[in-house]
Structures are given as C-alpha cells and as structure tokens.
C-alpha cells in the first residue's frame, strides 16, 4: 500500500512538473512602450466583425489625449490620432500656420485647438478622405490667444464640423 501511495504521489508530482514546464514555455506578449500613434484593435461587443475599429491608447485608458507644440515660425502640424486638445505655445504671434486633422478619427471625436498667442493666419486642413465643413460655424482663419476652437468628426459624412 505504501508503495502504491509513493507511486501515485510520484506520478502526480511528475504530471504537475510537466504541466508547469509546459505553461512556463508560453509567454504572454508584453508591450514595453506605447507611442502616441500606436493603435489597438477594438472588437465591439466582443464579437469580431468584417470591419475593424482601432483606437489609440489614450482613448482606451480614458485619459484625454493632448499635444503641445512650441513653434518658432510658421507651422505645419498634423494632429496625432486620439488628440482632444492641440495646444501651441509660440513665443509670439506667428504670421501663418496649418493644422492637418488626424488620419484616423473616431465617430464623434472632438478636437480643440488653442494657442497662447494670437495667430493672424491659420488654416485647418482635412486629412486624406475627409473634408472640413463650414455648415454650422465658418472656417477658422485666425486664432485669438487663449480661445478654444473645436471640431467634431462625423464618420458617416467623413467630415469635421466646427462647433466653436
């Protein structure tokens, strides 16, 4: 009987060790650094669909994404994906500047622009496949210091609408 117990315990330990060894061989991939333009697939409702949706980490985490730039001359800035606030902090008034909207906005995504200084000539450009609509509020052509200028994206229209 003692011999049978020893064999049984030995067998169980052997199986446990082999299982542990097999599990130790599988490693879960780890992301060491997530950049502002990295996108993660969103499987809506937990069911894969033909159309994939992607979101940057800042939208998944609930943290409002922002971008802060300090341009020294006329600027050309492409808004990073997931950015809610695009802020510029130039040393003084700049004669010209262009903001290009993000490449992969989500439906209902709001992006606001603000500058610490007055900007005398500003252009808001759509990214590929998008348009800038002036349906509700006219085109943004200049920026007053410390004033928010906001746009909302409509996926069905592939358009950015200025709201303020």
Specify the pLDDT at position 102: 94
- Is the predicted pLDDT of residue 157 greater than 90, yes or no? yes
Position 42 scores a pLDDT of 73
Q: pLDDT tens-digit profile of 101-152?
A: 999 998 899 999 999 999 999 999 999 999 999 999 999 999 999 999 999 9
Q: What is the pLDDT of residues 23-36, one digit of tens each?
A: 556 666 776 777 76
Segment 53-63 shows an average pLDDT of 69
Please state whether beta strands 65-69 and 83-88 pair in parallel, antiparallel, or not at all (unpaired). parallel
Cβ proximity of 130 and 154 under 8 Å: no
């Amino acid at each position: 009987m003692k011999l049978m117990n020893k064999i049984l315990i030995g067998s169980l330990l052997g199986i446990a060790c082999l299982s542990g060894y097999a599990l130790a061989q599988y490693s879960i991939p780890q992301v060491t650094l997530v950049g502002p333009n990295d996108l993660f697939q969103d499987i809506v409702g937990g069911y894969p669909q033909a159309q994939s949706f992607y979101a940057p980490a800042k939208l998944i985490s609930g943290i409002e994404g922002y971008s802060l730039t300090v341009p020294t001359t006329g600027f050309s800035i492409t808004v990073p994906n997931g950015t809610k606030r695009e802020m510029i902090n130039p040393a003084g008034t700049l004669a010209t500047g262009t903001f290009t909207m993000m490449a992969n906005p989500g439906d209902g995504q709001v992006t606001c622009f603000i500058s610490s200084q007055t900007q005398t000539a500003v252009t808001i450009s759509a990214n590929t496949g998008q348009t800038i609509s002036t349906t509700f509020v006219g085109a943004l052509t200049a920026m007053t210091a410390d004033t928010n200028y906001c746009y909302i994206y409509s996926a069905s229209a592939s358009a950015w609408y200025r709201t303020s």
